[in-house]
Every structure is written in structure tokens, then in C-alpha cells.
Structure 1
Amino acid sequence: MERIIEDVREDLSRRIAVAARRLADLTLAEDPAYAALLGRAELCERIHHDLDQAVEGLVRRSRGLPLDLADARAAGTLRAEQGLPLASLLRTYRRGGRLLWQTLTEAVAAHDPAALPRLLPSATALWDVLDEMTDAVAESYRLTEAPRADRDRERRAALLDVLLDGGAATGGPAASDAAAQLGLPERGRFAVVVVAGTGAAEGGEAAGRTAAPRVLWRIRADGESGLVDLGHRPLESVRELLAPLGVRAGVSPVVGTPAELAGARRLAALALSTVAASGGPRTALLDEGLPAALVAAQGELAARLRQVVLGPVLALPAEDRRTLLTTLGTWLVCQGSTTYAAQRLYCHRNTVSNRLRRLEQLTGRSLADPRHVVELALAHAAVVQRAAADPATPPCAPTPAGTARRSPRPRG
């Protein structure tokens, strides 16, 4: 092999120079990452050097000497520091290898066609050399990229903390600056989602590869939060994004500026608390459960509300308590219809009416009085939320997601 290369060395050098220019032009035309990073002359010089290194590596291999991979490792480090995607770098190396073999065979064929059969066994050696060079480039790239990627993740997390927690740290960026560094517009349509548990970040990114909104996830020990850039999409698109993931989540209302995101996160956490007792995976939009969110926001008043409004019911034996609370919750969900409530509870409507009358007697509140209905609905929400927080509390029917469209009253 060494003898063949030496025989065509001068012609091979000229052909490699031409091949390097061709590959540089092809790379710049097809790869925007390279085009944004390097000019034609610099890229052509780098490719020419790498091709020459591969030829020298083939000569060293034929002599039984190890390859000199210092240049390849230096190239991997440099491109990682410059931010060139590894896929772009490796693609150019693979193309260069194919082009080098073509150039070498053309040079040998032009000099001595009869020598071509002696060249073919060297193909394996050449690909081994190219593989070692490519592996050295990739390894060096990854070793350089790993700490840089860690720094980028830490920086991204810190910027999200500024937006989701509010109040920039001393010397840190303001909300508008943090948003700009994350690629978010100064004004737009944003929301925040808070998830119970973990796993939504990976699943949400996978589910959001099509027309779903962009979500910037922040994973912490206390759970996951997502900053949603809605654009022109409806808020309901967040629910559609999370639905396949089987998680419980709360979603804030839409806000218009990055400075409002910290408040939106608090509202999203309240929305999550309204679905904690539902028993099944679900995403709750805050505006669909404002009464329950109001109860969740005022823990001390919620405890007082439970005791003042439903104290006599809570004092009943467990089975009676569960029956009355379940009937009340179902009746509220059915917007005051005893008929629909009976269908859901699998009992006669007169049974529902009798239970509701007993509840009225115990609480001193009339289901025909809208003010009393509001008190009972909020107190029931407080009971449901306490049951979610304390598994020992007997279960009851969930609080309705929103306020009734009319003042409910017992009716047939």
C-alpha cells in the first residue's frame, strides 16, 4: 500500500485538493450549521488537512505504526466549543472518507490501471483508519460537550426559576431579560402547568412534536412545572398535550407577559389542588374550578367552613356521613336535579330527596336558598380536599368542576 501511494503521491495531492473544495461546497450548501460557522476557505483547508491525515494514517497502518489522532481530537473539541452539531461533524467525516477512496482509486487508475487489484485489499485498512479518526473526533466532542450541556441546563433552569418563582436574584436577570434569553417574546400568550409527580417533562416533549404548544419544563424535588408558550393556540391545547400521559395537572389562566408567570404558577398549583381528590388522571384549568380553588387557597377558612356548615354531618357515623356527602356532591354535579342524581347513585329519586332533606335538617341550610347552596358547595369542596390530603378520611363524591349555571334547588 505504501508503495502504491508513493507512486501516485503528487497526482493524489492535486486530486485531494479538488475533492476538498467539492466537499466544502456541498457541505456549505446543504448544512446551515456549517454555513453559519465557517467560511469556504477555512472549511476547505480543514477538509484538505483531514484527508491528508487519513492518507498518512493509511501509510502508518501499512508500516504497523499507531495512528496519530491528536488532530482529530483537537477538531472534536473545537467544534463542540463552537456549538456545531455532532451529526453535522460526523456527516462531513463520512462523506470525506467515501470521497477519499474515490479519489485514491482514480489516481491509481490514471497512473497504473494494472495496480487497481492490488489496491482493493487496502479498502478495509482505509475504512479502519477513517473509523478510528471518526471515533476520536466523536469522543473528544462528547467529552467537551458534556460539561457545556450541564452548564446550559443549569443556566436554563435558573432562567426558568426567575420566571416561575418571581423576583430575580441579586445581579440576576429580570423577567423580561430571562424570557428573551429563553427565546420567549416580550408579549404573547403564556400559561403555566404544575404536575403532580414526575415524568411529564419527557412525555410532554415527545407528545409535543407536532402542533402542540412549546413547553419549557422545570424539574425540581417538589414536582414539575411547565412554562407554556401558547402562541395562537387555545388553552385547551395544554390539556390535549397532557391527556395521553396519565398525570394530574393544574393549568393557570392565560397571561400576556413574562412578568406575570410567577403569579400564573401559583394559580396553576391551586388548579392542581382542585383535582387531587378526583381519583383519576386529569388536567384541570383553573377557570373551570374557581370555587374549589378558592377553598384550596384558604386552608384555615376551609377548615372553619367544614366545621360550621357541615359539622353535624361530619359527626355522623362513617356510613351515614359518606352517604349524605356523596349524595350532596352528586346533586351539585347534576345541577340540582334529583332525577339525574338518582340515576348516578343507582337509587330512587325519592331516596335522594329524603337524604337531601335530612342534610338540610342537620345543617340548618335550605337547598332552595342560593346563598345556602353556595355555602354547602364550598364546604363540600373543603371536605373533598381534606379527604385527598388525609387518606384516612372517608371518601365522598368529588366537588363539581365549576359553578352551576343556575341556582340549584330540589326538583323532579
Structure 2
Amino acid sequence: MERIIEEIREDLSRRIAVTADRLADRTLAEDPAYAALLGRAELRERIHHNLRQAVEGLVLGIRGLPVELADARATGTLRAEQGLPLASLLRTYRRGGRLVWQALNEAVAAHDPAALPRLLPAAGVLWDVLDQLTDAVADAYRRTEAARWDRDRERRAALLDALLDGAGPSDGPALSEAAAQLGLPERGRFAVVVLGAGGSGGSGDPGGPGRTDAEPAASGLRVLWRIRADGETGLVELGHHPLESVRELLGPLRARAGVSPVVETPGDLARARWLAALALRTVPASGGPCTALLDERLPTALVASQAELAGRLRQVVLGPVLALPAEDRRVLLNTLGTWLTCHGSTTYAAQRLYCHRNTVSNRLRRLEQLTGRTLSDPAHVVELALAHAAVLQRAAGEPAAPGAKPAGRAPRRSN
């Protein structure tokens, strides 16, 4: 078989050159990706080289020698860096392989038709060579594409960090340029989401958390997610959607989340991130999934933002209650919190606490006596509500004591 190929080598070379012309024309006519990337002369020369390489690989295969794959790997790397789709590259390689076999048959038939049956064993060798070449091209392409994607992801993460932190590296882009490179408008409607610890953002699917870019989610919102050591943050491009639509976006995550108010420029995003983190601090750690919009929790957020004053508020307003034995303290604080949640209704509070209305009234009177505040005075109610929020936030930030029992519903007591 090797002798036959040597005898027809000159004719085969001419046929391969014609084949390269035909395949280049067909590729440019049928594949816009190639047409946008290469001119005819360059593509034709590359195809011609690959076809000759396939013939040389056939000769080496017949001899039992390994096929040279370095050039195929280089081609895969180059095309990946140029952005040519892998499907386009492999389609041209497969077409080239079929045309090499056709040219080989035509050359043998023209030289010695009686030798055609002796060509059949070469078919298996040629297809094996072509498989090796296409596998080498594809492997190099995928490796290069993965490395390029990693570089692009790191670059986009740095741009997103610049927006969320309010300052990039000294030699980094301005915030407006960072936003432009991330596909964000100079003015729009944006919000920032901060997920609490244990959130499932990395595996959820409201638009691809764990990535620095995402297509619009089912809700119609586009989200840029960023995972760092200090937590998971999402930059939401709201468009015309209301801020409340973020709840739908985050629903599948079943996570604790804080949401900033709407901001209009990339320069406001760092502040929005801080406000989102503040909104998250208003969500009890043990309260289960919850999406907290800052503007719906401003009094509680105010307490959360001033740790020192919150401590004074706890002590000045509820100090006598906090000094009670643990069970009495828990009952009174639970009753106060429930009464506030029920908008000051003793009846509804009693229903939630599974006790008599008079029991709630007795507890509230005791609370008034201990604190010196009157629940009929709006100013006193504000103080008690903020102090109660400060107590809850402090409890959420402290580890449970060894052997401590979780708080349950208030027991039936008469005082």
C-alpha cells in the first residue's frame, strides 16, 4: 500500500491542491464564522496544509508509526483564541477527511484501476489518523477555551468588585468603564442583593449565582453574581421591573437575603451593597428564608447600623426586663414582640401566643412597670420597638449557650 501511494504521490498532490480550493470555497460560502475570520487565501492555505498532513499521517500509520499531532493542537489553540466555533472547525476537518479519501481513490484509479482493492485496508488507517487529528484539535480547543473563560471570569469579577467596593485597583478602569465592560448602562435602575450564610446561591438558578454574569432570569431581571470570602452578592439590573420582583428572583434559593433600595448609576452601587448588607442584618438568623427590602425595615435597620447606640437602647429601655431570670425575660420579650407584630392588638397577640387575652394584658402591664414606659404613648412604643429589635439583633449575633434550649411559644402563665 505504501508503494502505491509513493507511485501516485505527484498526482495525489495535484488533486489535494484542487480539493483544498473546493473546500475553501464551500466553507466560506456555507460558514459565516469562517468567512468573518479568514480570507480565502489564508483559509485555502490552511486547508491545503491539513489535507497534506492527513496524507502524511496515513503513510506513518501504514508504517505503524505515531502520527504527528503538534500542528493539529496548534490549530485548535489558535482557532479557540480567535473565537471560531468548535463545530465549524471540526466540520471542516471531517469534510477534509472525506475529500482526502476521495482524492486517494481517484488517483489510484487513474494510475492502476486493478490496484483499487488493495486500497481498502488503508481506509481503516486513514479514519484512525483523522480521528487522532480531530481529537487533538478538539482537545486543544477545549483547553484553550477553558483557560480563556477563566481569564475572562477573573477579569469580570475584578470589574464587578470595582463596582461593589466603589474602587478598583489603582491602574484599573473607572467605575463607568467597568460598568460598560459588564454591559451595564451609565444610568438605569439597579439594586444589590446580599445573601446570608448558608444561602444556596452557588447552586440555585435565578440567573446563575456563582457566576459574574448571567442572562436575564425567568423573572426578566439580569443578575451579576459574585462569591467572595465575605459572602455572596448579586447586582440586579432591574430595567422597568419593580424592586419587589427581586423576591420572585430569590424565591428558589430559600435563603436569607437583604436588598438595597434602587440606585441609578454605577457609582451608587458600593453604597447600595452596604445598604443591602444592612437589610440582611434585620433578618433573624433562625427565622428561615426571608428577603428583606431595606425600605420596609428602616427602623430595625437603623438599630442595626448603630451598634453602640443599640446597646445603650437595650440597657436604658429594657434593662430591668433583661435582668430578670431567663424564663421570665423570654416570656415578656416574646409577648412584647408578638404584640408589636399584631399592631398593638392584645386579642390577636393572645391568639398567636395560645393564651388568654388577660394573660397578655397582665404581661404587658408588668412590662410597663419594669420599663417605666406606657404602651398607650406612641413615643414609648417607638422606644420599646427599637429596643426590642436591638435585643433580637444581639441574640442573632451571639452563639447559643451550651445546653440552651431554643425558644418556643410562651407557656400558659397568669402573670
TM category (shorter chain) comes to 0.7 to 0.9
The more displaced of 284-293 and 388-397 is 388-397
1:111 Cα deviation after fit: 6.6
Query: d(CA) in 2 for partners of 1:158 and 1:355?
Result: 55
Structure 1's 396 and 114: CA in aligned 2 closer, same or farther, altered over 3 A?
farther
Counterpart position of 1:328: 336
Structure 1's 227 and 114: CA in aligned 2 closer, same or farther, altered over 3 A?
farther
TM-score (norm 2): 0.84
1:272 pairs with 2:269: no
Query: d(CA) in 2 for partners of 1:148 and 1:382?
Result: 49
Counterpart position of 1:92: 89
Conserved 8 A contact 2:258-2:278: yes
Structure 1's 187 and 230: CA in aligned 2 closer, same or farther, altered over 3 A?
same
Counterpart position of 2:376: 368
1:21 pairs with 2:21: no
Structure 1's 121 and 357: CA in aligned 2 closer, same or farther, altered over 3 A?
farther
Segments of 5+ residues of structure 2 without an aligned counterpart are 410-415
Segments of 5+ residues of structure 1 without an aligned counterpart are 399-412
Counterpart position of 1:37: 37
Conserved 8 A contact 2:179-2:186: yes
Between Structure 1 and Structure 2, how many residues are aligned?
391
Counterpart code for 1:367: L
Query: d(CA) in 2 for partners of 1:93 and 1:17?
Result: 18
Counterpart position of 1:104: 101
1:167 Cα deviation after fit: 3.1
Counterpart position of 1:68: 68
Alignment of 1:331-342 (within 5 A): 331-342=339-350
Counterpart position of 1:138: 138
Find 1:211's aligned residue among 218, 221, 243: 218
Query: d(CA) in 2 for partners of 1:274 and 1:136?
Result: 55
Conserved 8 A contact 1:276-1:385: yes
Structure 1's 392 and 124: CA in aligned 2 closer, same or farther, altered over 3 A?
same
Helix, strand or coil for the counterpart of 2:31?
Answer: helix
1:190 Cα deviation after fit: 1.0
Query: d(CA) in 1 for partners of 2:153 and 2:237?
Result: 19
Helix, strand or coil for the counterpart of 2:226?
Answer: strand
1:247 pairs with 2:244: no
Query: d(CA) in 2 for partners of 1:284 and 1:40?
Result: 59
1:54-81 Cα shifts (integer Å, max 9, x gaps): 2322232122222222221221232233
Counterpart position of 1:200: 201
Helix, strand or coil for the counterpart of 1:234?
Answer: coil
Alignment of 1:214-293 (within 5 A): 214-293=222-301
Counterpart position of 2:412: none
CA RMSD of aligned residues (A): 2.9
Structure 1's 123 and 97: CA in aligned 2 closer, same or farther, altered over 3 A?
farther
Counterpart position of 2:46: 46
1:374 Cα deviation after fit: 1.1
Helix, strand or coil for the counterpart of 1:283?
Answer: strand
Conserved 8 A contact 2:29-2:35: no
Query: d(CA) in 2 for partners of 1:244 and 1:143?
Result: 33
Counterpart code for 1:96: Y
Conserved 8 A contact 2:175-2:266: yes
Query: d(CA) in 1 for partners of 2:408 and 2:165?
Result: 34
Query: d(CA) in 1 for partners of 2:4 and 2:335?
Result: 93
TM-score (norm 1): 0.84
